[in-house]
């Protein structure tokens, strides 16, 4: 018997992948009256979802800075996070985080 893989290594699928059509259908059926035009997400931003998206933008900006991406692109990412925080009513908690990053960006330039 060849030792091509360790016995403890599983080859079966652990979790089914989400089907994009289901997610699209969920997005398109939320909103006023239960219907939103196809292809458009509702304007309402849930706080939990907004927090996750803000965190992702901040981490993306940090990674871009570490990777040497153009400073303007890094600044844009941080400003996008702040704009999303404003939309979601989270500006007070996010603004200090963005300000520190923008100050560091200026210092590095």
| CA 17 to each of CA 9, 14, 22, 23, 80: distance values in angstroms, whole numbers, following the listed order | 20, 10, 11, 11, 29
To the nearest whole number, what is the mean pLDDT of the chain?
Answer: 74
% of the chain exceeding 70 in pLDDT: 57
SS3 6: coil
> Is residue 26 one of the residues assigned to a domain?
no
The reported pLDDT for the residue numbered 48 is 81
Q: How confident is the model at residue 51 (pLDDT cuts 50, 70, 90)?
A: very high
CB 48 within 8 A of CB 88: no
> Is residue 68 one of the residues assigned to a domain?
yes
Q: How confident is the model at residue 33 (pLDDT cuts 50, 70, 90)?
A: very low
Measured distance CA(80)–CA(86) in Å, rounded: 10
> Is residue 25 one of the residues assigned to a domain?
no
> Is residue 97 one of the residues assigned to a domain?
yes
Q: Which residue has the tokens 């599983």?
A: 10
- Both tokens of 53, joined, read 């998206």
> Is residue 75 one of the residues assigned to a domain?
yes
> Is residue 101 one of the residues assigned to a domain?
yes
> Is residue 15 one of the residues assigned to a domain?
no
Count of the separate structural domains present in the chain? 1
pTM of the predicted protein model = 0.58
Q: Is 7 exposed, middle or buried (0-12, 13-18, 19+ CB in 10 A)?
A: exposed
For residue 37, pLDDT over 60 is answered with no
Domain hosting 76: range is 44-108
> Is residue 17 one of the residues assigned to a domain?
no
Q: What is the mean predicted confidence (pLDDT) over 84-97?
A: 94
| CA 73 to each of CA 1, 55, 67, 105, 108: distance values in angstroms, whole numbers, following the listed order | 53, 17, 12, 11, 14
For residue 27, pLDDT over 50 is answered with no
Q: Between these two residues, 53 and 5, which has the higher pLDDT value? A: 53
């Amino acid at each position: 018997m060849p030792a091509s893989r360790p016995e403890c290594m599983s080859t079966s699928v652990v979790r089914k992948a989400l089907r994009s059509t289901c997610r699209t259908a969920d997005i398109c059926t939320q909103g006023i009256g239960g219907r939103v035009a196809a292809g458009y997400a509702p304007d309402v931003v849930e706080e939990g979802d907004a927090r996750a998206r803000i965190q992702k933008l901040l981490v993306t900006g940090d990674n871009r800075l570490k990777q040497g991406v153009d400073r303007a692109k890094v600044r844009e990412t941080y400003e996008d996070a702040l704009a999303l925080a404003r939309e979601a009513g989270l500006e007070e908690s996010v603004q200090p985080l963005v300000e520190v990053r923008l100050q560091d960006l200026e210092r590095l330039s």
